[in-house]
A and B are shown apart, each in its own frame.
Chain A
């Protein structure tokens, strides 16, 4: 029997992309690229905002519009991309 590998996550100095949870990644992505800001101004609660922002992002990037943080959406958020916001504010 081999012992299961114990994976250790280290915070590397200078590593700007930290080991974020998917939800943290989503919040950061949706805000950075302009999906969140407009919706937050309208006073919805955070969860509603996130769902709508996710839908908007999924629509914009040609993904299935589930409003959920599904694996395809998380994967898209991890892709290298242009820094210009998708939604102008």
Chain B
């Protein structure tokens, strides 16, 4: 590894970042997530924390731009240069720029996140079949309103799960119109436009007015790239036009004719010969996560490594299961040291991809109907009979307690096993003394033994003050005591008397368990460790209450 001359580094460990704009190629939530994961690559091995700012000046300002984008190092169109970042310091130092002439994906081809429809924001499933035809891109077939859509499972006919694909007819990005869709035709400088345009701008971004008269209303937004759009060339964002004419020949598909580099391209109008409008056809694209992780390495003070497998090697290579090379670890730890103990500020969450909805419950649970890997936040996680249980929206999954590779079963319907319980379970625990199962939802709780139960009863019966409206987590302490968490405090309950101890409680969670979030969603004991759970993350504590690991529930506790 190599550092910059003078070992440039941040003089503080709580580094801030701000995302100034988004690429039209990738949904903003996927982009936020890719950047957050890229920062986590480094915070996993150093004492650095990364906090996202939404305004003002952050240490690391992140932006997408094309060609000459305002610094002395212009980008070069599609491929070639992908991004650059500046070593730590003030002003432009520390900033990371990504070339928006690239096709930004997660490295394996188009990633199309849907909106609306009935798939709760799931990604398109390519290919999918619709009325006997296979589709590898979004389509407007079957619709009269020209909105592109896709199926989010392999067979639309069977599953009927769908969502709408990025389209300027659905929403815009940035600008000043609060994501309103384009209005066509619109008037700009007296001329009428029937589609998105780059006219009036010198940065190559396509835009539209969100009212029918930009000259009058000045309302605009940038157009999201459709998955069928070209990248680079001189028509970024426009779809291929098939057939098109090139040197007198007609083409029905992308071609590499006319190019020495073998890359596939197409015209975006009926005749390349007449209009000279073209772009590169979509390929696997570049993983925003991998490129960002590399650039953030620069922003933290690492120069290029000459080890080919290292993240800081200057060339891009896609790797499916990324892990930081020991050379990168050695480099960053040379600058900032090793990470020991807790991370004081948890990574800021991005908006979950799936929002909670209460829908009609199907009679049998199709494993594909509720994918645990698409659940961003569980209602509660608890341990029952040494197995880890994940509850979400009326369903639960069970993971056997044998190490991290235990078998995962589910989803099961909560109502089939514990019929009296409501859809959302806030907390649950198993009383080790009696084997009774306690479930909490809002201000009520139930106690189950086998199929028999008592409840619902008000949590005030446990001696909790009326100000406590919900029990968010429960943690068994020894055989007779359970800690009940609510807000920033916790109470200790004696399971023999079913009452909380009055003396010495409540206590502040963070005073006892340093380094965990102040208001955890849950807490549980698993495989000899205490876990605190908040949003998508967990904090694992040793028996001496030291945080020895912070991670994603999905990736560490679940096989996602």
Contact = CB atoms under 8 A, between A and B. Distances in A.
B412 interface: no
Contacts of B314: 33, 61, 81-82, 84, 86
Interface string B285-321: 0100001001100100001101110000111100000
Nearest to A82: B314
Given A14-B234, A17-B77, A61 B316 contact: no
Contact of B306 (A14, A33, A61, A80): A61
Contact of A17 (B82, B261, B278, B286): B261
B495 interface: no
Interface in A38-89: 59-62, 76, 78-84, 86, 88
Given A14-B77, A76-B315, A86-B314, A62 B308 contact: yes
Given A14-B233, A84-B314, A62 B261 contact: no
Contacts of B83: 82-83
A80 B308 contact: no
Interface string B258-285: 1111000100000000001010000000
B54 interface: no
A80 B278 contact: no
A82 B24 CA distance: 21
A13 interface: yes
A30 to B, nearest CB: 14
Interface string A12-39: 1111110100000000000001000000
B207 interface: no
B295 A60 contact: no
Interface string B56-98: 0000000000010000010111111111110000000000000
Contacts of A8: 247, 257-258
B76 A17 contact: yes
B234 A13 contact: yes
A84 B233 contact: no
Interface centre among B259, B298, B307, B308 (most CB of A within 10 A): B259
Interface in B218-259: 232-234, 247, 257-259
Interface in B124-159: none
Contact of A61 (B76, B286, B315): B315
Interface centre among B4, B79, B304, B308 (most CB of A within 10 A): B304
Contacts of A86: 304, 314
Main secondary structure of the interface of A (DSSP, over half): loop
A36 B2 CA distance: 20
Please classify how large the interface on chain B is, using the bins under 10, 10 to 19, 20 to 34, 35 or more: 35 or more
A13 B315 contact: no
B234 A80 contact: no
B189 interface: no
Contact of A12 (B5, B265, B303, B304): B265
A10 interface: yes
Contacts of A59: 306
A17 B77 CA distance: 7
A17 B260 CA distance: 11
Interface centre among A7, A17, A33, A81 (most CB of B within 10 A): A81
Contacts of B232: 14-15
Contacts of A80: 79-82, 286, 315-316
Given A9-B258, A80-B315, A84-B314, A17 B80 contact: yes
Contacts of B278: 12-14
B259 A82 contact: no
B533 to A, nearest CB: 37
Interface string B12-44: 000000000000000000000000000000000
Nearest to B297: A82
Contacts of B77: 14-17
A83 B291 CA distance: 11
Contacts of B316: 79-82
Contacts of A16: 67, 76-77, 80
Contacts of B4: 88
Interface in B482-512: none
A81 B316 CA distance: 5
A76 B317 CA distance: 12
A17 to B, nearest CB: 6
Contacts of B260: 9, 19
Nearest to A86: B304
Given A15-B233, A17-B261, A61-B315, A84 B298 contact: yes
A83 B82 contact: yes
B82 A12 contact: no
A83 B73 contact: yes
A88 B81 contact: no
Nearest to A11: B258
B306 A62 contact: yes
A62 B85 CA distance: 23
Contacts of A33: 314
Contacts of B99: 83
Given A82-B84, A83-B99, A84-B298, 14 more contacts: A8-B247, A13-B276, A14-B278, A15-B232, A16-B80, A17-B76, A17-B261, A61-B315, A80-B316, A81-B82, A81-B314, A82-B82, A84-B84, A88-B4
Pairs A-B, 4 closest by C-beta atoms: A14-B234, A83-B84, A16-B77, A83-B81
Interface of B: 4-5, 67, 73, 75-85, 99, 232-234, 247, 257-261, 265, 276, 278, 286, 291, 294-295, 298, 303-304, 306-308, 313-316
22 contacts: A8-B247, A8-B258, A10-B259, A12-B265, A12-B276, A16-B80, A17-B80, A19-B259, A61-B308, A61-B314, A62-B306, A78-B261, A79-B316, A80-B80, A80-B315, A82-B82, A82-B291, A82-B304, A83-B75, A83-B82, A83-B84, A86-B304
